[in-house]
Amino acid sequence: MNTLNPLLSKEVKFEDMPLHVPELNKITKTLEKLSNDFINAKDSKEALRIIKKTFKLSDEINSDLTIISINFTINTLDEKIKKMQDECDEIGPKIQEVFNKFNNLVLNSKYINELKEKLGDHYINLLENENKIFSSEIIDDLIQESKLVNEYDALLASAQIEFEGETLNLSQLGKHLSDTNRERRFNAAKLYYGFLESHDEEIGTIYDKLVHLRDGMAHKLGYKNYVELGYRKLSRLDYDSEMVSNYRKQILEVVVPEVNKLKKLQAKRIGIKNPTFLDYNLDFKEGNPRPKGNSEELVEDASKMYHEMSKETGEFFDFMVRNHLMDLDAKKGKMGGGYMTYIPRYNAPFIFSNSNGTSQDVDTLTHEFGHAFQGYLGSKISNPSLRMPTLEACEIDSMTMEFFAWPWMELFFKEDANKYRYVHLMGALTFLPYGCAIDEFQHFVYENVNATHKERCAKWREIDRKYRPYLDFKGFDYLENGGIWVRQSHVFGSPFYYIDYTLAQVLALEFKCEYEKNKEKARKKYIKLLTLGGQYPFLTLLSKAKLRNPFIDGNVKKVIKPQLKVLNSIKID
């Protein structure tokens, strides 16, 4: 693998990146001139040069939008940043509209065959897809959608909960849900879910507005419902909801019975005969494996790991640290969750997470680093639409990196490294049914848009029982009645995205199997996948990387069975 120099040539610390709301009028005038030049292009070469100018313009605009978005998620309480974020939400769909007008010129160009040869079939297909998911008629709806999602995120980020003399947000309180003391787990959960319950009506109203808004957009664009539009918005050009339904069936038949067995073993391991859902947060009676150090030490250990993993990963991690491209600690006003995003102007990925002293801190850092490393390797792709793959393929990059990091877990967990590996792999398997439950729930929601919040919660509980029959919500009526799904932000902000994590998990486990047989061969295969970026649709990308199609019956089973043997082989005593 060759070192990529471009990343290291634009070094700017994150805090020095200027905050600038893109100017819609300036963008419009620039694209109008480029459009006129394109129409009058003398040949396909000149037309291609003009298209590449729009790529650079898109990168500049997205850089400004992304820098503001990152700052907003770091501190949702900053009124100046919030105002800038609101302005970005307002102009975002309008920017999309002016770019779509240019893209239509490309699609209708007399040079389309030559352009397709140079830019690739997939890019042209993506442009055609854009026409099917966007219209000036839905601009106001898109603006309102962004505002509602931000309202939900800000509501959850606003939590300030008193617990044992500390004021904590939801991320900080979350670590106490796996405390070894059962009473403390219960007390923390009462406060955690009590916050959600106290805002249940408000959250339910936000979601109801989102559902009807999205359904309305789907009808305006000529779709039967938002399921069809939602799939297209995720650029799922080579698979559909029926294939996903069959995939969920594989998980139900192959994975759910095995997870039920693992949960019985877990209950026995922690010594609780009739466990509730909270008890399953505890993997070992003496406590879950936790990183031996704070976030600064976590970064130091990660640096050592990535330097030993390869020259390129070490060099890249240094770049991230040196330019303050990670914000890891949970704090007041910070949005929950974790993500990686990319700032094209500086060839700079950015990692955001909420460290709270649990093993999830390591999961998140290795996961988001996988995303960031793909951004690093994909930086040579000049076309912004092809630089990164669709979301399900993106998650292969991140989840595979979690498993490639296994040999270095002693750095983070010391004597508990094997316990971490066991919990991590078990978690990968137990996640699959939950991810499918979230997906099936969303299909119900958008196929039954007039269901009430209460009916949605009841349906969630019905679906969840099918995929996770071992869960008992005794003592938590709010959860027993189906309220727990409201904490899953993807349901609000990224409809139908969540199944992507499960598809990627299955494929990451395939990489894990190969890594255990031949580390170097698996690593080269992984690098090839990352370098391809998003130049092909999902199933073609899998084919080029020689990965199995998870939609085909039997392929899930081929991956899951070996992992059960691995779990049995890990010494955790």
pLDDT in tens, 449-467: 999 999 999 999 999 999 9
Residue 1 has pLDDT above 60, yes or no: no
What pLDDT does residue 9 have? 53
Kindly give, in sequence order, each residue whose CB lies less than 8 Å from that of residue 198, ignoring residues fewer than 6 positions away.
none
**Domain positions in the chain:** 6-139
pLDDT digits 0-9 by tens, 401-454: 999 999 999 999 999 999 999 999 999 999 999 999 999 999 999 999 999 999
What pLDDT does residue 3 have? 46
Of 357, 354, 359, 366, nearest to 420 (Cα)? 359
pLDDT digits 0-9 by tens, 475-488: 999 999 999 999 99
pLDDT digits 0-9 by tens, 312-357: 999 999 999 999 999 999 888 898 888 999 999 999 999 999 988 8
What pLDDT does residue 116 have? 95
| Percent of all residues in the chain with a pLDDT value above 90, rounded to a whole number | 93
What pLDDT does residue 294 have? 85
Residue 230 has pLDDT above 60, yes or no: yes
The overall average pLDDT reported for the chain is: 94
pLDDT digits 0-9 by tens, 170-196: 989 998 999 999 999 999 999 999 999
Collapsing DSSP states into helix, strand and coil, what is residue 169? coil
What pLDDT does residue 5 have? 43
What pLDDT does residue 530 have? 95
What pLDDT does residue 572 have? 87
Q: Which two tokens stand for residue 245?
A: 């339904």
The matching CATH number, chosen from 1.20.120, 3.90.660, 1.20.140, 3.30.420, for 6-139 is 1.20.140
Residue 42 has pLDDT above 60, yes or no: yes
Give the global pTM: 0.90
What pLDDT does residue 4 have? 46
What pLDDT does residue 45 have? 97
Give the confidence band of 380 by pLDDT, cuts at 50, 70, 90: confident
| Percent of all residues in the chain with a pLDDT value above 70, rounded to a whole number | 98
pLDDT digits 0-9 by tens, 71-101: 999 999 999 999 999 999 999 999 999 999 9
DSSP state letters, 360-379: HHHHHHHHHHHHHHHHHHGG
CA gap 530, 374 in Å, rounded: 5
What pLDDT does residue 16 have? 97
What pLDDT does residue 300 have? 95
Of 322, 318, 288, 292, nearest to 306 (Cα)? 318
CA gap 312, 79 in Å, rounded: 39
State the greatest distance between any 2 C-alpha atoms of the chain, in Å, as a whole number.
Answer: 78
As to burial, measured by CB atoms within 10 angstroms (0-12 exposed, 13-18 middle, 19+ buried), residue 425 is buried
Residue 527 has pLDDT above 90, yes or no: yes
Q: Which two tokens stand for residue 337?
A: 């969750």
Give the confidence band of 126 by pLDDT, cuts at 50, 70, 90: very high
